[in-house]
Amino acid sequence: MSGRIGEIIQVSTTRILAQNDDLSVLPHFGSFIKTRSQGMTIYGLVFNVYETSIDPNRRAMAFGIERDELLRRQPQIAEFLKVEFEAAVIGFDDAGYIRAYLPPFPPRIHSFVYPCNSREVIDLTEDLEFIRSVNALPGLPVEELAAASIRLAYAERGNDSAFLTRAGQEIAQLLKDEYEKARSIIRRISDGR
């Protein structure tokens, strides 16, 4: 695997917290990531990204200078900052098949995190069952997340409008008891056409 973007620093069955290697690149909201642990590839969906001070007791201060200029003048500041992101666990690889449900165990801390390639994104979004698991997790911006991930999968498929229609129908089906939620997701994905 190549193109490492981070390292896991905290896990649970449903969520991964990872620290970014590179301050200059932030993982995209709604993008698909993977990690390999105990012989199994586990997939996640990035739902929260934050940049913070490395010392929990010291907050970053405002300098009144543009970020690029500040980092050029005082490069040591970068050493005191870190980027972390949270991802929801949405599936795993089982003997070559991607399963869109929770793996038997979470990845281990200090496993590396990589972005998913195009093939994996397409396989993971073949059906949109993962949105059901995401919807079940508390505290997630489900509407934004579902819309962002569908838009990404749509782009990976070369803007295939048949996929977008199918995705919309699945959203309507998955969230048929939550019409308002389905409606707002569908509105967001139809804007991307």
Partner 1 sequence: MAGKTKHIGSIIAGSLLGGLEAKLDEDINVEGVSVGRLIVVDGALNKFFCLLKDVSLEATNEDILLNPPRDDFSKMVHAGVNTFYKLSLQPMLITSQEPEAGDRPRPSTTVPPHFSPVCEATADDISLIFGEPGLTNPEIGSPIFMEVPVCLNLERFCKRSNAVFGKSGSGKSVLARMILGHLVKSDMAINLIFDMHGEYGWSATSEGSGADDPSLRQILGSKVAIFTVDADSPLYRKIRPDYDVQIPYGIIEIADLELAAGELGLTQAGIETMYRLHDAWGESKWLAKFLAMDAGELSLVVEELKVNDQALGKLHRCLSRLKRLPFIRKEVADDTVARIMNEIRAGRHIVFQFGRYNSMLSYILVANILTRRLHRLYVDKTDSARAEGIEGPKPLVVTIEEAHKFLDPAVARQTIFGTIAREMRKYNMVLLLIDQRPSGIDDEILSQVGTRIIGELGDERDINAVLTGLPGQGTLKVLINNLEPRQFLLTGFAPPMPVVIDAKEYGLFCNELRVGAGVIVDEIERRKSIDSLKASVFGDDEIVFD
- Burial string for 75-108 (b: 16+ CB within 10 Å, else e) reads eeeeeeebbbbbbbbbbbbeeeebebebbeebbe
Q: Which stretch binds partner 1 (CB under 8 A): 81-89, 110-118, 147-155, 177-185?
A: 177-185
Query: CB within 8 A of 89, min separation 6: which ones?
Result: 13, 14, 15, 16, 42, 43, 44, 102, 103, 106
Contact call for residue 179 and partner 1 (CB under 8 A): yes
β-partners of residue 40 are 37
Q: Which of 40, 135, 172, 188 binds partner 1 (CB under 8 A)?
A: 172
Contact call for residue 127 and partner 1 (CB under 8 A): no
Q: Which of 38, 52, 53, 165 binds partner 1 (CB under 8 A)?
A: 165
Contact call for residue 173 and partner 1 (CB under 8 A): yes
Q: Where on the phi/psi map is residue 159: left (φ > 0), alpha (ψ -120 to 50), or beta? A: left
Contact call for residue 132 and partner 1 (CB under 8 A): no
Contact call for residue 180 and partner 1 (CB under 8 A): yes
Interface positions with partner 1 (CB under 8 A): 164-165, 168-169, 171-173, 176-177, 179-180, 182-183, 186-187, 190, 193
